[in-house]
Structures are given as structure tokens and as C-alpha cells.
Amino acid sequence: MTEYKIIEILMKEAHTELSQEERRLLDQFRAESADNAAFVEENIQILNNMPTYDNMDLEFVVEEALTKVNNKKETPSKVVSLPRATSAVEKKTKYFAWLAAAVVVFGLSTFIYNFLGHSSDTMVYSTDSDMESFLLSDGSEVLLNKNSTLTLSNEFGDQLREMQLEGEAYFKVKNMDDQPFIVNAGLVKVEVVGTQFNVNNRQSNKAIAVFVNEGKVKVSSSKSRTKVLLSANESCQFDKQTNTLVKAEAGQSNATSWFSKNLSFNNVPLGSAIEDIEAHFDIDVSVDKVSCLDSLYTSLFNDPNADEVLKTISSVFDFQIIQKGDKSYQLAGGKCE
Amino acid sequence: MQQIKAGDNSAYDTLFRKYYSYLCMVVLRMTHSKEQAEDIVQEVFLDLWRKKEQIEINSAVKAYLHRSVVNKTLNKIRDKKLDFDRDEEKLQSVPTMQHTPLQKMQGEELQNVIKTAFESLPEKCRIVFSMVKYEAMSYKETAEKLEISVKTVENQMSKALRIMRAAINEYKRQ
């Protein structure tokens, strides 16, 4: 373990002055044995000879990149931000109203830019660390979750209402009878006729899942001949490995938890509750006792934190919570039916 | 920067030409993919243009761009949800380099061995190491940015150096 500390000190030494204590620790370690001294010397030798990457041995085609960026920058996002709710409470109420009809798509998008072709014909809506809402030119509203990108063609609204999503978004679609609203989320196409829906197309997700809270939505994929029509509280999954689109048994009541902030579990297997919890808090939770994953669980949380949820579950199933990392938990032990 | 704020395209182009390659190298120290590096840097430049009215830059533009590029890279890394505690990555065998026997391990040759070893580090190891080494972040800062524990940073740092030491020793033995 001392070696860890020594490495930390050596790394620090490269760019700042060491404290007296650190200097003392380093000298002491060095003096302890020849091995220690060699350890320090070798590491210093490595650190002093790390590649600097100052002299470029890689060529970048700067002009080409510049042209690419200049093409993109001249397509200002024709975006009118929705007025932001003034308080958290108001915000929540608003999002709940949106919940009336929702579709959630989980999945993976690898070809966002391929789809709409040249970048100069597109409008790009992007978020970084915060969610943001946008009003599209057809009157539809989009609540774009953090780290997400929605790309629309410049013809959006005239001939077709079609777009590409990377990340996650919730849509409130303006009803236009003759114009379907289409969201391409990776390999899956979600077609909506006048409703509200939510698409999550995160790179990290393995399957693409669609959940409809209310309204009717058609889901298809170029990789599968099956088409699925979803009504309220129905969901389907597209398995990326087998390229199959299957209607799922149960709905996904927590598909919109990212903005509703509520987690609800109504007599669901613990395994699927854990999946929702992992997605909601962006954490990893492992359960030691596999048999527990089928035990049914019921609970409702209103804007909880991860600790609170895990503690509640653990008290029900008699788990012991072991925190393995900042975002990684193990539920050990457990008594399940 | 004032010119860019006013919408001056040529000032923007100049800035782009000046720092593009440098910023790509900054990303490349952390990730393996040249393509991804270029994507990230282009995104940062686009953000700069789109947000030019709002952006307040208090430091040098280069430092600002550097920071933006590092942050964006870290966001991408976080989105990949790498499990830094799981060591499923096989330690890739470090490619050995051609050399003439009597040459001493020094100067350029040593640097080449280290560079090759560094670039073949497992992804997570390399990310952590380059943050500490090149971005001069403390262990604590690195842990916070990657949302992992300090313990994990310690492990990965020690692993990175162990692999590079092994590469040098291996080379010396030949």
C-alpha cells in the first residue's frame, strides 16, 4: 500500500512542489531497501521519458475538419426554448402533465450522422450536463435529457417530421393527421401519430426498448420484419444481438423516472426493480443471492436518492449493503421467499 | 476571442487552425481513437461558435479549449460506463521493438519503449494515468471526474506503472 502512496507522490512531484511530509515519506521509503530505491528510480525514469505528444507524429487534416465544422456552424438551431418553470414544484407538475402519453425508447444509435446525410442540412439540438426543453417548428415540444443530441433535417415540418436521437428525450407531439412523427433511435424506428412520447437511446444500453404510457405508437426496425403497435402501458424490446423485436409482457413504469423523479414498483420481480434503479441513478447494483431476483417487490419513492432506495430494499429482503465504489453496490446475504 | 464573439469567421478559422492538432493530441493521450479525438475537438469548436455570445473566458483561449476538450472526453468516457474496478481486460502483451544489442537504454530508444507500452495500456488504465500525468490532476480530482473511488485510481496508476516497468525490463533482457 505504501507503494501506492509513493506513486502518488511521484506523480505530484512532476507538476507541483511536494510538502515536507511527502518529501520525508519518499526519502524514508527510498532508504528502507535497495528494492525500494530501485522502484522509485524506475518509476521516475518512466515519468521523465513519457511521450510528450508535442511533436506531432500524427497528421491531422485540419482544413478538412475546419470545413466540416464551418458547415455545421452555419445551421443555427432554430430553437425556441420553452419558458423555464420558475420552481421545482412547477417543473414537476409540468412534467407530470407530459406523462399523459409517453413512449420510451432505450437503445443504441451508431449512425446518427449517417442518417440525415450532410450536416449542412440538419439542425442539431444538444445538451451537456442539464436537461433542456425545445420547441420544434411544427409546435411539438421536446424535453432533451442531459448529454443527448437530437438531429432534424432542415426540411423538418414541411414534408416530413423525422429525426434522429442519440441519448434520451421526451416528446410532446403536435397532432397532424397527415404527418407522422418519426424518431429514429439506432436500429429502431418509432412512429407516432399525435401523442407524447419519450425516447431513450443511450449508447450504453444494449437493447432498444419502447414504452407507451398513452396513445398509439408504431415501432419497426430495418433489421426485423415485425412491426409492433403499442397502446397505453405497453412496451416492446429490440434485441440488438438477435435483431428481434418483441412485445414485452409488462410495461416499464419507471421509463420516465429521469424527469418525473419518481420510482414505483408494483409487485415486480426484484431483478427488474434493480434494473430500473441502476438506470435511474446510473449505478451498478449486484445481488449475491440469485434466487432473490424473482421475489416480488412493491414500493413507491418520490425523488429518492440511491442510498434511500437501497436501504429500503435491503430492509425488506434483509440484505447487507456493501459499497464497492462510488457507483457500485453489492447487496449481500438476503432472505427471500 | 472578441472578434469571434462578434461573429468574425476568419478569427474563428485562425483559432481553429492554430489549436486543432494540439487539441486532438490532448484527447489522443487519453483515448486510442484518432477519429474520436477529432470528433470531440470539432464538437468543442462548434460549441464555441454556438455559444460565443454567452461564453465568458477568463483564462487564455488555449487553456479554455484544452479544458473543454478534456471535459468532453471525460463525459464520453463516463457515458461508456466503464467499470474501472473490473479487470476483465487482458493485459495486452506489450509489443517489443527492434533494437541493436549494444545500445544503451536511454534517450530516444527508452522513450520509444515507454511510448509503445503506454499506448498499449488497457483502456481504463490509460485514461486514469493520462489524467494524472498529462492533465496534472490529483488522485482525488481524477476520481471525482470519473466518478470512481480514489482506491480505484491508486490501483490503476500502480497497474499502469507496473506494466510500463515490465516492458522496460523485458526489453533490457533481450
Tell me: do A171 and A223 sit in the same domain. yes
- How far are the Cα atoms of A47, B46, B106, B114, B164 from residue B94, in angstroms, in the given order? 18, 38, 19, 10, 9
CATH 1.10.1740.10, chain B: domain bounds: 2-79
SS3 B106: coil
* Percentage above 90 pLDDT, chain A: 10
Q: Which of B38, B85, B165 sits opposite A46 (nearest CB)?
A: B165
Q: What is the mean pLDDT of residues A183-205?
A: 70
CATH architecture of B2-79: Orthogonal Bundle (1.10)
Nearest-10 crossing angle of helices B61-79, B34-50: 120
pLDDT of res. A208: 72
The DSSP line for A127-171 is -SSS-EEEE-TTS-EEEEPTT-EEEEETTBTTTBEEEEEEEEEEE
Tell me: do A147 and A197 sit in the same domain. yes
- More reliable by pLDDT, A197 or A259: A259
Q: What is the length of chain B?
A: 174
Whether the CB of A44 is below 8 Å from some CB of chain B: the reply is no
What single DSSP character describes residue A85?
P
Identify the CA nearest to A153 among candidates A82, A222, A75.
A75
Q: What is the length of chain A?
A: 337
Q: Which positions in chain A touch B134 (Cβ < 8 Å)?
A: 53
SS3 B22: helix
Rounded Cα gap, residues B45 and A70, in angstroms: 10
Q: Where are the beta strands (DSSP E) in chain B?
A: none
Query: Which stretches within A74-221 are classed as H helix?
Result: 88-98, 112-115
pLDDT of res. A249: 60
Tell me: do A176 and A275 sit in the same domain. no
Tell me: do A222 and A281 sit in the same domain. no
Q: Is the dihedral of CA B1, B6, B11, B13 positive or negative?
A: positive
pLDDT averaged over chain A?
A: 75
> How many CB atoms sit inside 10 A of residue A20's CB?
7
Whether the CB of A41 is below 8 Å from some CB of chain B: the reply is no
Residues 88-127 of A with CB under 8 A from B: none
* pLDDT, tens only, B131-142: 999 888 999 999
Whether the CB of A62 is below 8 Å from some CB of chain B: the reply is yes
B59: phi > 0 → left, psi -120 to 50 → alpha, else beta; which? beta
Rounded Cα gap, residues B72 and B77, in angstroms: 9
The DSSP line for A307-324 is HHHHHHHHHHHTEEEEEE
C-beta atoms of B29 and A53 within 8 A: yes
Instruction: Single out the residue in A248, A282, A302 at which a domain terminates.
Output: A248
Would residue A102 count as lying in a domain?
yes
pLDDT of res. A25: 92
Rounded Cα gap, residues B126 and B114, in angstroms: 13
C-beta atoms of B84 and A12 within 8 A: no
pLDDT of res. A9: 92
> Could you identify the residue written with the cell 481504463?
B124
Identify the CA nearest to A211 among candidates A106, A97, A95.
A106
Tell me: do A238 and A266 sit in the same domain. no
Tell me: do A36 and A93 sit in the same domain. no
- More reliable by pLDDT, A248 or B128: B128
ipTM confidence: 0.81
Would residue A17 count as lying in a domain?
yes
Domain count, chain A: 3
Tell me: do A94 and A146 sit in the same domain. yes
Parent domain of A327: 261-333
Rounded Cα gap, residues A52 and B70, in angstroms: 16
pLDDT of res. B131: 93
Rounded Cα gap, residues B154 and B145, in angstroms: 15
Contact (CB, 8 A) for A264 and A221: no
* pLDDT, tens only, B33-88: 788 889 899 999 988 888 777 776 666 788 888 888 998 888 888 777 666 666 54
Identify the CA nearest to A188 among candidates A172, A210, A157, A168.
A210
pLDDT averaged over chain B?
A: 80
Backbone torsions φ then ψ of A190, nearest 5 degrees: -115, 120
Would residue A315 count as lying in a domain?
yes
Would residue A256 count as lying in a domain?
no
Tell me: do A94 and A202 sit in the same domain. yes
Q: What is the mean pLDDT of residues A120-130?
A: 72
Identify the CA nearest to A251 among candidates A144, A104, A97, A96.
A104
Please state which of the four CATH numbers 1.10.10.10, 3.10.129.10, 3.40.50.2300, 3.40.30.10 is assigned to the domain occupying B107-173.
Answer: 1.10.10.10
CATH classification of the domain holding A191? 2.60.120.1440
Tell me: do A278 and A321 sit in the same domain. yes
CA distance B24 to chain A (A): 8
Return the exposure string of B81-108: e unless at least 16 CB atoms fall within 10 Å of the residue's CB, then b: bbbbbeeeeeeeebeeeeeeeeeeeeee
Rounded Cα gap, residues A267 and A318, in angstroms: 18
pLDDT of res. A26: 93
Tell me: do A228 and A266 sit in the same domain. no
Instruction: Single out the residue in A248, A269, A286 at which a domain terminates.
Output: A248
CATH 1.10.10.10, chain B: domain bounds: 107-173
pLDDT of res. A27: 92
Tell me: do A175 and A243 sit in the same domain. yes
Backbone torsions φ then ψ of A273, nearest 5 degrees: -60, -40
What is the rounded radius of gyration, in angstroms, for the C-alpha atoms of chain A? 26
Q: Determine the straight-line distance between the first and last CA of chain A, rounded to whole angstroms.
A: 43
* pLDDT, tens only, A290-305: 888 888 888 888 888 8
Q: Which of B38, B45, B168 sits opposite A60 (nearest CB)?
A: B38
pLDDT of res. A63: 85
pLDDT of res. A320: 92
Whether the CB of A48 is below 8 Å from some CB of chain B: the reply is no
Q: What chain A residue is nearest to B137 in terms of C-alpha separation?
A: A12
Q: Which positions in chain A touch B41 (Cβ < 8 Å)?
A: 65
Tell me: do A314 and A177 sit in the same domain. no
Q: What is the mean pLDDT of residues A29-38?
A: 92
Beta bridge partners, A330, equal A286, A322
